Amino acid sequence: MNDAEIRDRILAILYGVWKNKGFEAYVPLTSLVKTLNIPSVAVERNVELLVKIGLVEKWGVIGGSFYRLSAQGVLECEQKGLEPDFTLSKGVSSVALG
């Protein structure tokens, strides 16, 4: 999987979480890594790029980073025609922060 494909997968996962739980749900980096089943450095590199360009928002705490789709990210998913990936939205992997 190349970096562009990784970013699309991250967006699809966060899009699925947003579809089911709205903007209040954040996904831990560890859950993204486990779901994508690729090295954590590749996930972190790509999710941080998505943060820098405004498609994803980050909430960092001691011991972990949490991510959610931004409003611009929702529009990007819709414009790209990405299908939401509901893998994490059905479990307890997303957390409401506050």
Question: 95-96 and 56-61: which strand pairing?
Answer: unpaired
Cα–Cα distance list, 60 to 21, 66, 82 (Å): 20, 6, 26
Domain range list for the chain: 3-82
Exposed / middle / buried, residue 81 (Cβ in 10 Å: 0-12, 13-18, 19+)? exposed
What is the pTM (predicted TM-score) of this model? 0.89
Paired with 58 in beta bridges are 67
Domain 3-82 belongs to what topology?
Arc Repressor Mutant, subunit A (1.10.10)
Per-residue pLDDT of the chain (98 residues; tens, 9 = 90+): 899 999 999 999 999 999 999 998 899 999 999 999 999 999 999 999 999 999 999 997 887 899 999 999 999 999 999 999 988 776 544 455 54
Q: CA-CA distance, 33 to 68, in Å (whole number)?
A: 15
